[in-house]
Amino acid sequence: MPHHADEQRYEKAAFRRSGRTGLQLSRFSFGLWQKFGDQHPYSTQRDIVLRAFDLGIISFDLANRYGPPARAAEKNFGRILREDLGAYRDEIVIASKAGNPIGPSPYQSGGSRKTLLSSLDVSLRDLGVDYVDIFYSHSPDLDTPLDETVDALATAVRQGKALYVGISNYRADRAHQAAKLLQEARVPLAIHQTRYSIFDQRADAEGLLDLATADGTGVIAFSPLAQGLLTDKYLDGTIPEDSRAADSAFLSPDAITDVYRERAARLNEIAIARGQSLAQLALQWVLRRSEVTSALIGASSVGQLEHNLRALEAAELTADEIDAINRHASIEPVNVAR
């Protein structure tokens, strides 16, 4: 039987407008980067996605790269749409990306017109939809002229295959150039997806958040929990078997250092004093910035999803609490390829 969505799903839902566009996203977007490939039970994936929608999350973030294998996440999400959420397609914001490597062909990576538009056609097929709401250039390609990449994004909109366009992982200056080129093409840059967390504040330090506001571009923050480092998983000095540091290519056990544990422990004390978890504190810290349209979260269980969403229920962070948090922060990033 198709899923019947909770009729009260919008009562507590909160949304933010993306820059100067008409696009609005739920304050949390759900990402299918990890745990949504063929190595994980489809029934669990389905339960998490449907629960997210019932809790007011309307924006779902995908890419041709997500799996494993590549494109598996879009196929699995497409099945959920087909079997459960098809009646709600007009309420759902689906994002896809292309440009990060998914194979050895020169057209399975990069920002060329062929790479982006060919990938989008396959994504539409796998998702079973006529259009995506947001289509991203997943990473900058310094070997392809930026105006070619931008023109491919604009073409996707003109062809009706995407409603809005975005960029991901761009530095501030190149993001600004892309915004100007898109403005000239009369296709606004709706959103910039960037890594941002207590442990990685480069987006702020390099002026990306301020520049996005000036350009009328929204911002969606990925890895707000720094690949799980901003949770209580590693505070006791061990690495749980089911944690990312144990079983993921995106976080090395070498990141679990004494310096990290000391900083995380101090942040955890601040969270406990506020009556919340370290993960909830970290998510709230990201969303404190009005420039951040949405924070991108994942989950490996319905319980984890529900726990993280309770970050929106806590009192706003005070200036003193933000100062205390930043004393234990770091702008040294955890390097991951997504």
What pLDDT shows up at residue 206?
A: 95
For residues 81 and 129, what is the distance between their CA atoms, to the nearest angstrom? 9
Model confidence pTM above 0.85 = yes
Q: Reduced to 3 states, what is the DSSP secondary structure of residue 111?
A: coil
Beta strand 132-137 with 189-195 is unpaired
| pLDDT tens profile 246-278 | 455 566 677 788 889 999 999 999 999 999 999
Domain boundaries along the sequence of the chain = 15-228+287-316
For residues 307 and 290, what is the distance between their CA atoms, to the nearest angstrom? 23
What pLDDT shows up at residue 247?
A: 59
Alpha helices in the chain (DSSP H): 42-54, 72-80, 113-127, 146-158, 172-184, 202-205, 208-215, 244-247, 258-273, 278-287, 302-309, 319-327
| pLDDT tens profile 163-210 | 999 999 999 999 999 999 999 999 999 999 999 999 999 999 999 999
Name the CA dihedral angle for 304, 308, 309, 313, rounded to a multiple of 10 degrees: 130
What pLDDT shows up at residue 257?
A: 87
What pLDDT shows up at residue 128?
A: 98
- Local structure of residue 65 (DSSP, 8 states): T
| pLDDT tens profile 95-105 | 999 999 999 99
What pLDDT shows up at residue 256?
A: 82
**Architecture of the domain delimited by 15-228+287-316:** Alpha-Beta Barrel (3.20)
What pLDDT shows up at residue 141?
A: 98
- With a cut of 50, which residues of the chain have pLDDT below it? 245-246
